[in-house]
A and B are shown apart, each in its own frame.
Chain A
Amino acid sequence: MRSYIKYVFVGLLFFKSVLAQNSVDAQLDYANKIFESSKYFDAITEYKRVLFFSSDKKYYSKLYYQIALCYKAGAHLDEAIKYFVLSEKHASNDSLAFNAKIEIIRCNILRKSTARALQLCNELEDDIRFASKKDEIYYWRGWAFMFADDWENAAKCFSQSKDYNELIMLCGQVVKDKVSVTFAKVISYILPGAGQIYSGKIFSGLMSLVWSLAAGYLTVNAFMANRAFDGLLIAELVWLRFYRGNLENAEDFAVEKNMLAANKTLKYLENEYKGVKP
């Protein structure tokens, strides 16, 4: 009889532990529901609760991952990265580790820490465990370059896979729409206003040209009439001023035009692009 009682108690304990496991799963479901209803702050609380009570380490990676996703959704990228790192550390298999690491890269892309994103991409690429996932690494490397306004390198990365034709096209378009800042400045050195006209600001370019010609004429005129003081004054206060302004404008307009081109595509990527985004 006594042994029978023993069995009952052992059974009781066993059921208890199974039930505890079930309750961890149930709590996880509950947290996930809050996550799905976009209440990320509260979802973190619930994930932390599971983390606190769960003695089973198999949950850790998943929980850290979810917490990180919450922070990411709240645009708290530093915290998100902190938790993705924890998730990677506790990952029980390669697939979990890879996903966490990719998320760290995506956060770095979003917070525009490009160097770090690229470094992590390289690490992943060199890791033989992930040899079959090269395409995904190329994909995020391309995104890192796009966020860093380096569209030529982005296009190169995307062209390493067959599946990213739309992105290659988008990058190509930006490269085509961009103008050369150096070229704009150089031609404005030679002919004031030329750089502005090259960037599409025709009126502004003409005004620069007119000012430089007029001030130049007045300066030369003053020197010809032996009014050296006036000549120096006009040269310094008027001519050089507008000449310098012309160079600044040539650069500014080219930069502005390039930014417009880049932002047009970035806006499309943010709002309309259907593929996976960082």
Chain B
Amino acid sequence: MKKLVYISFLWASFSFAQTDWQKWEAKDISYLLPAKNEQKLLTRNSSLVGTVLNSLKSVYSFTISNYDGDNCPFTPTCAVFFVESVERTNIAAGILMFADRFTRDMNFLKDTYRYSLHKNGKHFDPPSNYTLNSHQIIFEPEYND
């Protein structure tokens, strides 16, 4: 919690700071059109479970998910959610987390206020919020760029 306060403080002070309150260097401005951000599907886990998951995922992407459209209103998508859940916990808990997500996905009356909006326009719903560990719960997405 303290960290959170600390970070939000820093954020607040930077957001009010003038451009020149920190020394800056020359910087090029890219001419390119901004790219759409893709979701990474594969896991970096090198264990057996990781390998199996990765091959399952590859087959799933190759045969189905590349063609069935953008059906998931959440980010990460249900499939990615499942992979990450197993990565973060274990197979059993991962399946339970996925079952819960699947149920929430079926909720056509989604209380939108519950989820914050990701910049890709979807409901932000990361697996970290469902590991039953209060410290991992985050409500706002963090962007790397």
Contacts and interface: CB of A to CB of B under 8 A. Distances in A.
Interface of A: 38, 40-41, 44, 71, 73-77, 79, 110-111, 147, 149, 204, 207-208, 211, 241-242, 244-249, 259, 262-263, 266-267, 269-270
A263 B33 contact: yes
Interface of B: 19-20, 23-33, 35, 63, 66-71
Given A207-B67, A248-B69, A270 B30 contact: yes
Nearest to B35: A259
A241 B68 contact: yes
B32 A266 contact: yes
Contacts of A40: 24-26
A255 to B, nearest CB: 8
B67 A242 contact: yes
Given A40-B26, A74-B24, A245 B32 contact: no
Given A41-B20, A73-B26, A74-B25, A266 B69 contact: no
Contact of A75 (B20, B28, B31, B33): B28
B67 A259 contact: no
A261 to B, nearest CB: 10
Contact of B33 (A73, A246, A266): A266
Contacts of A41: 20, 23-25
A266 B31 contact: yes
A74 to B, nearest CB: 5
A242 B69 CA distance: 7
A41 B35 CA distance: 30
Contacts of A248: 69-70
Given A79-B19, A110-B29, A147-B31, A204 B69 contact: no
Contacts of A79: 19
19 contacts: A38-B26, A40-B25, A41-B23, A71-B19, A73-B27, A74-B26, A76-B24, A79-B19, A110-B29, A149-B33, A207-B63, A211-B67, A241-B69, A245-B69, A246-B67, A246-B69, A248-B70, A266-B31, A266-B33
